[in-house]
Amino acid sequence: MSNVTPIGEAKKTRRPPPPEDPGERMRVLVTTREHEVTNGTLAAVSQHPDLYQRGGMLVHPIKDQRATGNVSRPEGVSYIAGVASARLREMVSERVFLCRMTKEDGPKPCHVPDWLVKQLQGRNQWEGVRPLEAISETPVLRADGSVLSEAGYDTATGVLYRPHRTFPELRDAPTLDHARKAIEFLLEPFADFPFAESCHRSAVLAGILTPLARFAFQGPSPLILITKNVRGAGGSLLADAISIAATGRGMARMTQAGDDDEERKRILSIALAGDRMVLVDNVDHPLGGAALDAALTGTEWRDRVLGRSEMITAPLLATWFATGNNPQILGDTVRRILPIRIESPEEKPEERTGFKHHPLEPYVLSQHPRMVTAALTVLRGHAVAGRPRGELKSWGSFDSWSDIVRSALVWAGEIDPAIGREGLTQGSDDEGNALATLIAHWRYLDTTGTGVSSQNILRAVTDVDGDIATLLRDAIIMLSGKGDMLPSAARLGKRFAHFKGRVVAGKKLMSQDDRNGVKLWHVRESK
């Protein structure tokens, strides 16, 4: 009888079944077919409770980082961040039991390979990984009029709901009477603010409702600008009180950027983090510009992350606020603004006493859960009523916001918050006036009628004195949007390009390159 073991049996002896994982992890065999290993790992890790995708990045919710990209955030707020390689490696090891085949002992457990982490991160889209639009610590309104009130990830909105308070139960079908009482309750903490008109008080309500309704409409929402006639009148206090009422926290804050490039970086930081409310505090030079204008009329932001070459696109769903003392507003930005005007009768309002609620922020925080439910009562009641729009004037890019927020307030008996825009628009088109001045006196700059370069325009208004030269200097400074100094020739050329083709008094600014490629500016009749 032979003692030779058949080949088939010998193979079975040398290669025992892969070891069983003592936990519930999915078993994946690491081989040279890397795509199969990555696919198997992704299938296992895709439902990790902290793993999401956003803007072509793997992301996760985190807390307590106070500032990123010149944007400061309140303590304890949840925001969104990219998953670092080390953390992704941890997530894989939590969900996947990886093993390699050895010649001697068969399958044996192994560490997560570096190439596997890199392949997972490099895919840019991940089947089965949930898209994350935002993190909310309060209930929010859905597009169908229902309210997200159950903690966890909501597939209808892409919102991760992490409640930080217990909120009063919301009626399923609030009536108009319920909505009107809710409005009274929402306004009570703001009784001490001297609003210029009732529409400005209504705009405060819009500021509370907008972040709670943000996932119920598709388009952008306007920037809410809190202006005041004197320092110390409480603009920043009002902004924070509105934010605490809606979210239970103050707003993310940033100062005005020095130029569009810096502004774009800050906006990208806001988009990536998923900030819900953002305050541009203490505006001290003209408000607006290409970057901010684009942010206010879009719901996505596309740019490059510092240190990476590829472009990324992330949702941009923040409700924007700004504060300032009679700030100057650049022309194209005016139509994107919902104003709140505070007019204090006091010479030194910071010394005022006798407030109904002082200090205000702790009081609003104590009422925050009830205020959220009151705001949702208005929004939900309006939805139950069929979302009547009334006879509101259209507002361009913000009609979707108007249908949900503005219309709800008017339905509940409040004055249209957008009425305040009329005075803002009439008094703020300084750019239009400056362009009109430039065009009216163009012959002073282009004496031959053959066109003039930006460099020669600046020379013409710098080297001589006189009333017309002064008018043109002031107009150029206004159009440049750079404080009270004349711009560089390059800056002036960029600003002229921004106004190219805009018709003023039947004429428009145009350009043409000369034989040397120098851009010459002309004024032509509009046809």
CA dist 264 and 255 (Å) reads 13
CA dist 234 and 226 (Å) reads 9
Beta partners for 21?
none
Type of residue numbered 29: L
pLDDT in tens, the chain (527 residues): 444 444 444 444 444 555 565 567 899 999 999 999 999 999 999 989 999 999 889 999 998 655 555 888 888 888 999 999 999 999 999 999 999 988 887 889 999 999 999 999 999 889 999 999 999 999 999 999 999 999 999 999 999 999 999 999 999 999 999 999 999 999 999 999 999 999 999 999 999 999 999 999 999 999 999 998 888 889 999 999 999 999 999 999 998 887 778 889 999 999 999 999 999 998 887 788 888 999 999 999 999 876 666 788 999 999 999 999 888 787 778 899 999 999 988 878 777 888 889 999 999 999 999 999 999 999 999 999 999 998 899 998 999 999 999 999 999 999 999 999 987 755 455 677 788 888 888 888 888 888 999 999 888 888 766 778 888 888 888 888 766 788 888 888 888 887 788 777 678 888 888 888 889 999 988 76
Ramachandran quadrant class, 357 (left: phi over 0; alpha: psi -120 to 50; beta: rest): beta
Determine the Cα angle at 280 with ends 377 and 496, to 5°: 120
Rg (CA), the chain: 30
Give the model's pLDDT for residue 59: 96
DSSP string, 364-395: HHHHHHHHHHHHHHHHHHHHHTT---TTPPP-
Asked if residue 287 lies in contact with residue 301, where contact means CB atoms within 8 angstroms, the answer is: no
Beta partners for 161?
136, 152
Give the model's pLDDT for residue 431: 72
Residue-range domain boundaries for the chain = 7-121, 176-427, 429-525
Give the model's pLDDT for residue 436: 80
Give the model's pLDDT for residue 28: 94
At residue 521, the 3 state secondary structure works out as strand
CA dist 235 and 242 (Å) reads 11
If we measure between CA atoms, which residue out of 21, 31, 88, 96 comes closest to residue 57? 88
Instruction: Indicate the pTM of the whole model.
Output: 0.79
User: Beta-carbon neighbour count of residue 310 at 10 Å?
Assistant: 8
CA dist 195 and 197 (Å) reads 6
User: Beta-carbon neighbour count of residue 45 at 10 Å?
Assistant: 23
Token pair 């204008």 in the structure block, residue: 293
Question: What dihedral angle (degrees, nearest 10) is formed by the CA atoms of 38, 40, 43, 47?
Answer: -80
Asked if residue 523 lies in contact with residue 446, where contact means CB atoms within 8 angstroms, the answer is: yes
Tokens representing residue 74 in the block: 């309140």
Asked if residue 238 lies in contact with residue 226, where contact means CB atoms within 8 angstroms, the answer is: yes
Give the model's pLDDT for residue 12: 45
Looking at CATH, the fold of the domain delimited by 176-427 is given as Rossmann fold (3.40.50)
Q: Strand 507-513 vs strand 503-504: parallel, antiparallel, or unpaired?
A: antiparallel
Q: In the sheet that 507-513 helps form, which strands lie side by side, from edge to edge?
A: 503-504, 507-513, 519-525
CA dist 231 and 215 (Å) reads 35
Tokens representing residue 55 in the block: 């803007």
| Burial environment of residue 213 by CB neighbours within 10 A (0 to 12, 13 to 18, 19 or more) | buried
Type of residue numbered 185: F
CA dist 475 and 487 (Å) reads 11
Give the model's pLDDT for residue 7: 40
Determine the Cα angle at 154 with ends 153 and 157, to 5°: 130
Type of residue numbered 91: M
**Alpha helices of 385-483 — where are they, by DSSP H?**
399-401, 407-411, 421-428, 430-440, 442-445, 454-462, 467-480
